[in-house]
Homo-oligomer: A and B are copies of this chain.
């Protein structure tokens, strides 16, 4: 199988209600597109969510890292390429490249997925999935030159914001959806921070599910140099996800934090 079969490419346009006040695509919308592309790519190759559901398995997003040099502007066309970098027994790494209208690279993303049994909620062996055929799609020819997901620790004791999970937060599985957490986290920062700079790197670690009516508390820590850690806890205790957000002009040292 050659490289072109392994990489899926999907075209988008930055719609008016999908850009922020600066006219740039929002990170939540980009995250949504990335996860959709993962779905398209996997479905076209026989291991999409509908296919694995038939065998009572489902895909679970564990990590998402997005690192952008720039964002598409309102009405601009852009595309997302995605491929599988690695398949381990319990996790698979899927990467992305986001390309502007002139073929210029706007940024990259990394994601880590597990597959679980819908009956037992226990992780499944990915190397056994479809008789191991998922490994046929591993693509080593494409580079993803951004840092891997880093460890996220948040050490503050008072939440910056608290909300109750509402109708619009809940997906078809009855959980607060992965993208909504990103939007709520972006809303923790004053708009001036988006005027003065932009988010260069955004990491999410998804650990547990939250549900309709859950109280979500957002613990935000300033880690210095434009870097912030956020932990989201449900009902005052359990951590459901953590994020690390890098504002500014980026650089190579970001994952050292």
Chain A positions within 8 Å of B, measured between CB atoms, are: 15-17, 19-23, 26, 28, 32, 35-36, 39, 50, 74-75, 166-168, 170-174, 177-179, 183, 186-187, 189, 191, 194, 212-213
Are B21 and A212 closer than 8 Å at their CB atoms? Answer: yes
A168: chain B residues within 8 A (beta carbon): 20, 26, 28, 183, 186-187
Point out the residues of chain B lying under 8 angstroms from A75, CB to CB. 50
Q: Are B19 and A171 in contact (CB under 8 A)?
A: yes
Q: Is the CB of A36 within 8 A of B23?
A: no
Number of copies: 2
Q: A168-B183, A212-B191 given as contacts; is B21 within 8 A of A39 (CB)?
A: no
Whether A17 lies near B171 (C-beta < 8 A) is yes
The one of B19, B171, B191 in contact with A16, judged by C-beta atoms closer than 8 angstroms, is B171
In Å, the complex CA distance between A15 and B171 comes to: 11
A142–B170 CA distance with the chains assembled, in angstroms: 37
In the complex, the chain B residue whose C-beta lies closest to that of A50 is: B75
Q: Tell whether A32 pairs with B19 under 8 Å between CB atoms, given A167-B191, A186-B168.
A: no
Q: Are A167 and B179 neighbours in the complex by a CB distance under 8 Å?
A: no
A4–B79 alpha-carbon span in the complex (Å): 31
Apart from A167-B194, A168-B183, 8 more pairs, CB < 8 Å: A16-B39, A16-B172, A17-B171, A17-B178, A23-B172, A166-B187, A168-B186, A170-B191
Q: What is the bound-complex CA distance between A154 and B26, given in angstroms?
A: 34
